């Protein structure tokens, strides 16, 4: 996969071809981190 060449950074590319829901590169990574935090917290709460 072309994750390391980051083709969505090229000028003239439509960000929405790569990112859905109005995400961009930065908000998408933030979202991923938050989802991982959430699943961690939820599993902790289930253990209690």
Partner 1 sequence: ECAYVHIGPNSPLRRKACEHYARGFCPLGPWCKARHVKHKVPCPFYLAGFCPNGRAHPPGPDRIVSCEFGAHARWIRDED
- Contacts with partner 1 by CB under 8 A lie at 1-3, 7-8, 13-14, 16-23, 28, 31-32, 35-36, 38-39
CA distance 44 to 12: 44
Q: 14 or 47, CB closer to partner 1?
A: 14
Least distance to partner 1 from the beta carbon of 47, Å?
18
Residue 23 near residue 31, CB atoms below 8 Å: yes
CA distance 40 to 17: 31
Least distance to partner 1 from the beta carbon of 20, Å?
5
């Amino acid at each position: 996969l072309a994750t390391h060449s980051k083709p969505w950074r090229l000028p003239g590319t439509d960000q929405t071809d790569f990112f859905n829901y109005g995400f961009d590169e930065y908000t998408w990574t933030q979202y991923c981190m938050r989802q991982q935090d959430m699943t961690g917290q939820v599993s902790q709460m289930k253990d209690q």
